[in-house]
Amino acid sequence: MYDVIIIGAGVSGAASARELSRYKVNACVLEREEDVCCGTSKANSAIVHAGYDAAEGSLMARLNVEGNQIMPELARELDFPFNPCGSFVVCLDEESLPDLRTLYERGVKNGVKDLEIITDKARIKEMEPNLADEVAGVLYAPTAGIVCPFNLNIALAENAYTNGVDFKFNTEVTDIRRIEGGWALETNQGVYETRYVVNAAGVHADKFHNMVSGTKIHITPRRGDYCLLDKSAGNHVSRTIFALPGKYGKGVLVSPTVHGNLIVGPTAIDIEDKEATATTREGLDELIAKAGMNVKDLPMRQVITSFAGLRAHEDHHEFIIKELEDAPGFVDCAGIESPGLTSCPAIGRMVAGILKEKLGLEPNPQFNGSRKGILDPDTLTKEEQAELIKQNPAYGNIICRCEMVTEGEILDAIHRPLGARSLDGIKRRTRAGMGRCQAGFCTPRSMELLHRELGLPMTEITKAGGDSKLVAGTNKDRI
């Protein structure tokens, strides 16, 4: 029997696992997909929000600000990309300036530092030359930033794993029932028993909550469509640009990414199907129509891909993080929508704090909070690159030409803790396949590396686990 089982390996589950690994505990994460970061955590805006948007006094507001403050040090400890670039909320008309002031005052009450309302148009244009000409003012939040959501999630999970937490992939929880001393989790891989359950199942968290509690919750999957633009458009803005909802409606954000692209989105479309992550023509049309509301001359012809993610919108628009009164031993980590990515370090601390108290956990003397990410040769000098290639020739073999990803990086991605087992696993860890050609060139070469390093038959290699196989058979089989 485990002490704790966490359902879900997104940022909330991984952050909880990492914080829990600070203690002597027998813990496990169950994930229905083939890798970490396969749900909401992989398809979002990648924004580290400052904290002025959530309602004053809410758990969402508190954890947003706390997570924002933790993020810079966490990025150093776990070696993932983070850029404190700041953000603007753009007001397009004088009559809406009081709404900007309301956001400012809420942010101050929430504890956001260094907020500023700027109405000097010359200064605004100097800071962001491509903002709409009719801008009346902006709320400037210098503590906001951007992050790589994949590497954040992967880093948290790897660090939890190296500190003793088990991870079970392709393991879908189908039922939860009370047993003596804890819970039994029925899965497609058998039964797992545990003293405590942490429900970090994203859009499916209401299903597990409602299995054990008489007080029901309801989560609506809210789809957000995005467009990702080529790196040639990456400098169009230098900060995250948000729209202030007003008489022109609610716009979409425009933001640089930590890897040099430009992202535009999301829409907010409530749906019923919790697996419906495909973009729609209507959603993309809405996105493109709103894209130029606050930022002019957006080069939308430079779009290299579009995608959609689902936010776990709980009916009361609030994080639910607590042990259930009518189900002792079951800890909810539910309703984690935006700013969930920003809040995840604080969410992890809160969940681990609940379990520490309930289980009487002692510190883990072997805990190591540091992790080294995959080496990016571009961060080295020419001399250092030459020496690296001399020591390991795989770093001189380019696999992905768009992103200049080497064989050495992909081998690291495959063989490191919780390593890649699919093309998407490689992509999230190295960016191979995320460039202009969208994996048109590097797919067969990445498949060859998975085949060679893991001994997987080509017919068993998948894009994203499950039935997403790419090769049906060999030519000789058809003769």
Burial class (CB in 10 A: 0-12, 13-18, 19+), 211: middle
Residue 231: Cβ within 10 Å count: 18
Residue by residue, DSSP assigns 261-280 as -EEEE---EE-S-TT-----
Take residue 386 and report the two structure tokens written for it.
């030459």
For residues 83 and 258, the answer to whether their CB atoms sit within 8 Å is yes
CA 137, distance to chain mean position in Å, is: 30
For residues 240 and 144, the answer to whether their CB atoms sit within 8 Å is yes
Beta strands in 169-218 (DSSP E): 173-179, 182-187, 190-199
Q: Taking the CA atoms of the chain, what radius of gyration do you get in angstroms?
A: 23
Take residue 163 and report the two structure tokens written for it.
């500190």
**Pick from 392, 363, 369, 368: nearest CA to 380:** 392
**Pick from 349, 305, 344: nearest CA to 41:** 344
Q: Out of 49, 204, 236, 313, pick the active-site residue.
A: 49
Question: What sign has the CA pseudo-torsion 193, 199, 205, 208?
Answer: positive
Contacts of residue 199, defined as CB under 8 A and 6 or more positions apart, other chains included, come to 7, 8, 205, 208, 209, 330, 331, 332, 333, 334
Distance, in Å, from the CA atom of 167 to the CA atom of 87, rounded to the nearest integer, reads: 36
Question: What sign has the CA pseudo-torsion 177, 313, 287, 292?
Answer: negative
Distance, in Å, from the CA atom of 462 to the CA atom of 423, rounded to the nearest integer, reads: 7
Phi, psi of 43 (to 5 degrees): -130, 85
Look up residue 361 and give its DSSP letter. Answer: P
Take residue 296 and report the two structure tokens written for it.
């002019």
236 is catalytic: no
For residues 302 and 326, the answer to whether their CB atoms sit within 8 Å is no
Instruction: Find residue 230's DSSP bridge partners.
Output: none
Distance, in Å, from the CA atom of 6 to the CA atom of 249, rounded to the nearest integer, reads: 40
Contacts of residue 343, defined as CB under 8 A and 6 or more positions apart, other chains included, come to 60, 63, 64, 66, 67, 319, 336
Catalytic residues: 49
